[in-house]
Structure 1
Amino acid sequence: MVERLDPGKRDDEKSDSRPSGAEEFPFERPPRLPQKWQRSTRAERQEFFLPVSGFIWFYPEEVKVIDHPAFQRLSRINQLGQAHLVFRGATHKRIEHVMGVVSVISKMISATRINSEKNAIRKGPRSSAALSPHEERFLRLGALLHDIGHIAAGHTLEDELALLGKHDADQRLSLVFSKDNWDVPDNVEPESLETLVDRLYANYVTPKLRDAGLSPTDIVRLLIRKPPADAEHDPFKSKQEVLLESSEIRFSVCSNMIGNTICADLLDYIYRDWYHVGKMRSVDDRIFQYMEIRRKFEGHQHPRQNMLAPSETELPPSSDDRFVISLGRETKVRTDGVSAILNLLEWRYELAEAVLFHRTKVAAGAMLDRALFELWETVDEKALLDRLLEVSDEQLIDLALSEATAKLKKKESDDRFRVARGLLQNLKHRRIYAVLAAFNHTNLIHNKIEIAKRDYGGLGGQEKIAAANRTNAARNLEKDFELPPGSLAIYCSTVKPKIAEVSISVDDSVMRFADYEDEHDDLLSGGHLKAQINRFDRMWRIQFFIEDSALESLGEEGALNLRRAISDILLSDDDPTTLRARVQQFAKAYVHDQIQGGKNSVSYVAEMPDAAWRDETVARKYPNGADCIRNFIRRRS
Structure 2
Amino acid sequence: MLACELGVMVFPSTQCCLESCSKVFNDPIYGLVPMHPLLVRIIDTPQFQRLRYIKQLGGVCYVYPGASHTRFEHSIGVSHLAEKLVQELNERQPELQITCRDMLCVQIAGLCHDLGHGPFSHLFDKMFIPKVSRGRKWKHEDASVAMFDHLVDQNELKNLMEQHGLVLPEDLDFIREQIAGPIDKTPGKWPYEGRPVEKSFLYEIIANKRNGVDVDKWDYFARDSYYLGLQSNFDHVRYINFARVCEVDGESQICTRDKEVDNLYDMFHTRFSLHRRAYQHRVVNLIELMIADALVKANEHIKIEGSGGEMFRMSEAIDDMEAYSKLTDHVFEQILHSSSPELAEARQILENITCRRLYKFVADSRREVSQVQFEDWAREVARRMNLDANDFVRSVIRIDYGMKEDDPIDQMRFYSKKDPTKAFKISKNQVFFLKPKSFSQHQIRIYYKKETDEETIKAINDDWSRNFPKPQDEPQNEC
Among candidates 384, 400, 407, match of residue 342 of structure 2: 407
Alignment of 1:316-465 (within 5 A): 320-327=251-258, 334=259, 337-376=260-299, 381-383=315-317, 389-393=325-329, 395-400=330-335, 405-407=340-342, 418=345, 420-440=346-366, 444=367, 449=368, 451-452=369-370, 455=371
Shift of 1:377: 9.0
**Residue 177 (structure 1) aligned with residue 148 (structure 2):** yes
Among candidates 131, 150, 162, match of residue 202 of structure 1: 162
Shift of 1:33: 7.0
**Residue 542 (structure 1) aligned with residue 430 (structure 2):** no
Partner Cα distance (1:244, 1:475) in 2: 56
User: Equivalent residue for 1:504?
Assistant: 413
> Would you say the 8 A contact 1:364–1:427 is kept in 2?
yes
Q: Secondary structure at the match of 1:52?
A: coil
User: Equivalent residue for 2:308?
Assistant: none
CA spacing shift, 1:49–1:396, aligned 2, 3 Å: same
Alignment of 1:275-314 (within 5 A): 275-281=226-232, 284=235, 285-298=237-250
> Would you say the 8 A contact 1:37–1:203 is kept in 2?
no
Among candidates 213, 221, 227, match of residue 270 of structure 1: 221
Partner Cα distance (1:176, 1:361) in 2: 29
Partner Cα distance (2:150, 2:379) in 1: 39
CA spacing shift, 1:470–1:371, aligned 2, 3 Å: farther
Partner Cα distance (1:365, 1:160) in 2: 8
> Would you say the 8 A contact 1:33–1:133 is kept in 2?
no
> Would you say the 8 A contact 1:364–1:432 is kept in 2?
yes
> Would you say the 8 A contact 1:503–1:510 is kept in 2?
no
> Would you say the 8 A contact 1:201–1:216 is kept in 2?
no
Partner Cα distance (1:476, 1:200) in 2: 64
Q: Secondary structure at the match of 2:249?
A: coil
User: Equivalent residue for 1:16?
Assistant: none
CA spacing shift, 1:470–1:363, aligned 2, 3 Å: farther
Larger radius of gyration: 1
The amino acid that maps onto 1:102 is S
Partner Cα distance (2:49, 2:377) in 1: 40
> Would you say the 8 A contact 1:202–1:215 is kept in 2?
no
TM-score w.r.t. the length of structure 1 is 0.60
Alignment of 1:461-480 (within 5 A): none
User: Equivalent residue for 2:61?
Assistant: 84
Instruction: Report Cα offsets for 1:482-504 as digits up to 9, x if no partner.
Output: 33687543321213313537532
User: Equivalent residue for 1:129?
Assistant: 96
Partner Cα distance (1:50, 1:78) in 2: 17
User: Equivalent residue for 1:255?
Assistant: 203
CA spacing shift, 1:246–1:226, aligned 2, 3 Å: closer
Partner Cα distance (1:562, 1:99) in 2: 47
> Would you say the 8 A contact 2:265–2:433 is kept in 1?
no
Shift of 1:7: 1.6
Percent of residue pairs bearing the same amino acid type = 19
> Would you say the 8 A contact 1:168–1:224 is kept in 2?
no
CA spacing shift, 1:64–1:84, aligned 2, 3 Å: same
Q: Secondary structure at the match of 1:259?
A: coil
Shift of 1:231: 4.3
| CA RMSD, Structure 1 to Structure 2 (Å) | 3.9
Q: Secondary structure at the match of 2:93?
A: helix
Shift of 1:405: 4.9
CA spacing shift, 1:280–1:567, aligned 2, 3 Å: closer
Partner Cα distance (1:133, 1:115) in 2: 16
User: Equivalent residue for 1:192?
Assistant: 154
Shift of 1:243: 3.1
> Would you say the 8 A contact 2:141–2:179 is kept in 1?
no
User: Equivalent residue for 1:120?
Assistant: none
User: Equivalent residue for 2:430?
Assistant: 524
User: Equivalent residue for 1:220?
Assistant: 175
Structure 1 unaligned residues grouped into runs of 5+: 10-26, 118-127, 181-189, 233-237, 299-319, 328-333, 409-416, 457-468, 573-637
Partner Cα distance (1:339, 1:351) in 2: 18
CA spacing shift, 1:253–1:221, aligned 2, 3 Å: same
CA spacing shift, 1:390–1:344, aligned 2, 3 Å: same
Instruction: Report Cα offsets for 1:356-393 as digits up to 9, x if no partner.
Output: 12221112122223343455499684246656542332
217-226 vs 425-434, greater mean Cα deviation? 425-434
CA spacing shift, 1:370–1:484, aligned 2, 3 Å: same
Shift of 1:63: 0.4
> Would you say the 8 A contact 1:115–1:289 is kept in 2?
no
Instruction: Report Cα offsets for 1:40-68 as digits up to 9, x if no partner.
Output: 12xx4310101111110011111000001
CA spacing shift, 1:29–1:71, aligned 2, 3 Å: closer
The amino acid that maps onto 1:200 is L
User: Equivalent residue for 1:563?
Assistant: 461
Partner Cα distance (1:48, 1:421) in 2: 38
Partner Cα distance (2:376, 2:117) in 1: 28
CA spacing shift, 1:565–1:219, aligned 2, 3 Å: same
User: Equivalent residue for 1:482?
Assistant: 386
> Would you say the 8 A contact 2:286–2:358 is kept in 1?
yes
CA spacing shift, 1:496–1:176, aligned 2, 3 Å: same
Partner Cα distance (2:83, 2:316) in 1: 36
User: Equivalent residue for 1:40?
Assistant: 19
Q: Secondary structure at the match of 1:262?
A: coil
The amino acid that maps onto 2:430 is L
User: Equivalent residue for 1:618?
Assistant: none
Partner Cα distance (1:479, 1:426) in 2: 26
> Would you say the 8 A contact 1:151–1:389 is kept in 2?
no
The amino acid that maps onto 2:255 is V
CA spacing shift, 1:35–1:293, aligned 2, 3 Å: closer
TM-score w.r.t. the length of structure 2 is 0.78
Shift of 1:548: 6.8
CA spacing shift, 1:54–1:7, aligned 2, 3 Å: same
User: Equivalent residue for 2:475?
Assistant: none
Among candidates 145, 150, 153, match of residue 120 of structure 2: 153
CA spacing shift, 1:297–1:559, aligned 2, 3 Å: closer
Structure 2 unaligned residues grouped into runs of 5+: 302-312, 403-407, 471-479
Partner Cα distance (2:120, 2:375) in 1: 18
CA spacing shift, 1:264–1:62, aligned 2, 3 Å: same
> Would you say the 8 A contact 1:65–1:71 is kept in 2?
yes
Partner Cα distance (2:467, 2:295) in 1: 26
CA spacing shift, 1:545–1:326, aligned 2, 3 Å: same
Shift of 1:131: 2.1
**Residue 51 (structure 1) aligned with residue 31 (structure 2):** no
Shift of 1:167: 4.5
Among candidates 41, 59, 66, match of residue 64 of structure 1: 41
CA spacing shift, 1:33–1:392, aligned 2, 3 Å: farther
Partner Cα distance (1:559, 1:434) in 2: 8
Give the count of matched residue pairs: 438
Partner Cα distance (2:140, 2:180) in 1: 5
